[in-house]
Structure 1
Amino acid sequence: METPIKRHIKIKGEATPYTPGMEIYFERRLDLIWKGKSKKMKTVVQLWKRQGKHCPQCGQPITNQTGWNIHHRIRKVMGGSDELTNLELLHPNCHRQLHSREAGAHRKHL
């Protein structure tokens, strides 16, 4: 009996999910991991249906063609989790814009 090879996505350098600047990297990594697992895709489908198949940022439909990113509502660095209640699907561009706005607001407080 052969054991199937399971590929893992390496974490780059000294990145941690608790470093504020690395959130997008880890959310994209989570996307890749979930896209490769049918059980995890069920979670993506649950999020998609819960949101009415639309992006909560722009209100437009999320499809395979538009793509999606998984976003943590409460940042992991602030104690957020990977539970369904803390996750939402966003279009990749909406996700980048959201993090850019958050980063800009954070810089204003420094």
Structure 2
Amino acid sequence: MRQQSATCPNCGQSLFNGEDVHIHHKTPRSQGGTNHSSNLVAVHLVCHSQLHR
């Protein structure tokens, strides 16, 4: 979250706006992605759902 300046990369809003926060894998684990911090990003629950559509 610190590396993202507490901002959701999907919508650009603060991660501290009262919405639930989820961790998203940039490259899915099923496609060889890892749990390393360089592959993870914090996003709002709604934004996470949008990313998986």
Amino acid of the residue matched to residue 61 of structure 1? S
Runs of 4+ in 1 over 4 A off after TM superposition: none
Question: What fraction of aligned residue pairs are identical, expressed as a percent?
Answer: 38
**Partner residue in 2 for 1:55:** 8
Measured against aligned partners, the alpha-carbon deviations of 1:1-32 in whole angstroms (never above 9, x if no partner) come to xxxxxxxxxxxxxxxxxxxxxxxxxxxxxxxx
C-alpha distance in structure 2 between counterparts of 1:75 and 1:56, whole Å: 17
Q: What is the number of residues matched between the two proteins?
A: 53
Query: Which runs of 5 or more structure 1 residues have no equivalent in the other structure?
Result: 1-47, 101-110
> In angstroms, what is the RMSD of aligned CA positions?
1.1
- Given the alignment of the two structures, is residue 99 of structure 1 paired with residue 52 of structure 2, yes or no? yes
Q: Which has the higher contact order (CA 8 A, sep 6+)?
A: 2
The residue correspondences of 1:1-110 to structure 2 (distance < 5 A) are 48-63=1-16, 65-100=18-53
Give the superposition deviation at 1:67.
Answer: 1.8
More helix by share: 1
TM-score, length of structure 2 as denominator length: 0.93
Amino acid of the residue matched to residue 85 of structure 1? S
C-alpha distance in structure 2 between counterparts of 1:67 and 1:53, whole Å: 13
C-alpha distance in structure 2 between counterparts of 1:86 and 1:51, whole Å: 13
**Higher gyration radius (CA):** 1
TM-score, length of structure 1 as denominator length: 0.46
More strand by share: 2
Query: Which runs of 5 or more structure 2 residues have no equivalent in the other structure?
Result: none
